[in-house]
Amino acid sequence: MLTRLCIENKGSAFGLKVFWECFQLISTFDFVKIQHMNYKFKLLILLIISSLNITFVLAQHQNSFVGIRFGNAYPLGQFASKEFETGAYALNGRSFGGEAAWFINPRVGFGIDVSVNSIGYDAMSYAIDLKDHTPEYLSPVEMLSGHYNIATYMGGAYYKLNILPKLNSTFKLMGGILVASTPDQFFGCEIYMQGKTYWWKTSAQDSKFSFLTGVSVEYNVFEHVSVLIQGDFAYSEVAFTYLTTSGSENYTNHFKIPIIRLQPGINITF
């Protein structure tokens, strides 16, 4: 649908409408039911392709671009805390994403930012704390854990500042949706009056409003190709609800999720 609209219509007002329809397309997904990263990658590819179509038709300034990012994600605050009652035990992880922006003048533009992030879980620290806080556990807790999976889908404004003829910096302020899922985990322990016991803790998911701000420094290596280093900060508050084997609600963990992403990347400008 977006490709057809791009072919049949042109102009700055339409450009804003297309980006808004991109954002509406994202919001129609039931993110809570997304349990595997391949769905998020498919959505990422869809958005990048749509952004390419938009940019080819509508770009009127050399600052308009599409690009990819790849780097590290660093959890902060409560999300990285190892407090047994309140912390999420998150470790540093990996991040991959794509961006596309259309500039309505040489300095101001509007665009989208999509990322997928795999955040580690400190299973060793949690297993030790779980044993220390549970008197009926007679042996050390054996634990296997996956990763936190976090995806962000953002739209917002860009501002570009020229530093040197081939060097510039771009600032952005965005809002959108953060989708997060906890890792699947497997436990084993010698429990008083029960003997050796094994159990699963299945993943919980949530999606909430999020904001993102970031800055990049970009160098033009060729006429339409730039390399850059980018730093982003994203924040959201989520509630992970865990269910019993019968499907009823068991308990809910509330977490504040601040994440810093540091990513090199490549932009193609038009």
What ranges do the domains of the chain cover? 2-269
Q: How many helices (H) and strands (E) does the chain have?
A: 5, 11
Q: Which residues contact 71 (CB under 8 A, 6 or more apart)?
A: 94, 95, 230, 261, 262, 263, 264, 265
Which are the contacts of 122, defined by CB distance < 8 A and separation ≥ 6?
82, 89, 90, 91
Flag the least confident range among 47-61, 145-159, 209-223.
47-61
The whole-number average pLDDT for the span 42-47 is 55
* Exposure letters 108-117 (e unless 16+ CB within 10 A, then b): ebbbbbbbbb
257: closest CA among 97, 96, 127, 89? 89
| Span 93-147, pLDDT tens digits | 999 999 999 999 999 999 999 999 999 999 999 999 999 999 999 999 999 999 9
Rounded distance between C-alpha atoms, residue 185 and residue 114, angstroms: 27
Q: Which residues pair with 66 in a beta bridge?
A: 100, 268
The CATH number of the structural domain formed by 2-269 is 2.40.160.20
Residue 142 structure tokens: 């054996």
